[in-house]
Structure 1
């Protein structure tokens, strides 16, 4: 018997580009898989991306926060985060200052994490973030 899957399209999160076909998140058997979020403003998705890693990271987390709220998950439910940085050496430390605002620093609740340096991201972004959450329902 397969687990029921719930596909979440979140009206107040940044919409998928017309050429992309995906749900913001898919939930199955207590697991939540959130699609990678670029730093596009969910209230003005066609606007230019802000400059600087801190501003772009905040917009990624704004999108993630809206998706989590819609699905009933919270950051403490996150078990894995994947971060893509187009300027890894330059932006890693500054990104972490923003990241630390969203995940507890007590050492017991931090999710697993992979940070990857990439050659290019969509829309010329400096960062993209996806995550996996779990709730024992």
Structure 2
């Protein structure tokens, strides 16, 4: 792998809602742009209802981006979670989020409350992954 950044757009991943790459690879590191709970097959589809369904869709979208670069969730070393309704949704988001990671392989994580997200989403998650 080169140490020159590779700016990646993944076929089959959701269309970005702003001007950015799905991910940037630098050596063994992959920096994955925050994913929204959008349908990767239909940009105009309504977002799923509720924090659990939105969290599942976000993680599935992250998996699409990771797979496009040859990575998997097991390569995630850091996650950042953004919640619009932090107090209301934190516990339910956690329950859904943790179902994707084995207890002995959870990435380091930050979770913050925000005042709003694109498309009025309830959750957005970005990742940093590492694969040697």
In the superposition, the TM-score normalised over structure 1's length comes to 0.91
Tell me which residue corresponds to 2:66: 68
Tell me which residue corresponds to 1:30: 28
Say whether residues 1:103 and 2:101 are aligned partners.
yes
Which ranges in structure 1 are unaligned for 5 or more consecutive residues? none
**Cα deviations by residue, 1:89-134 (Å, 9 ceiling, x for unpaired):** 111110111111211112xx22110000011111111000000001
Between the two proteins, the alignment pairs up a number of residues equal to 131
CA RMSD between the two structures: 1.2
Tell me which residue corresponds to 1:82: 80
2:43 aligns with one of 35, 42, 45: 45
* Separation of aligned partners in 2, 1:115 and 1:56: 16
Q: Is the 8 Å Cα contact of residues 83 and 113 (structure 2) preserved in structure 1?
A: yes
Moved over 6 A (4+): none
Which ranges in structure 2 are unaligned for 5 or more consecutive residues? none
Tell me which residue corresponds to 1:4: 4
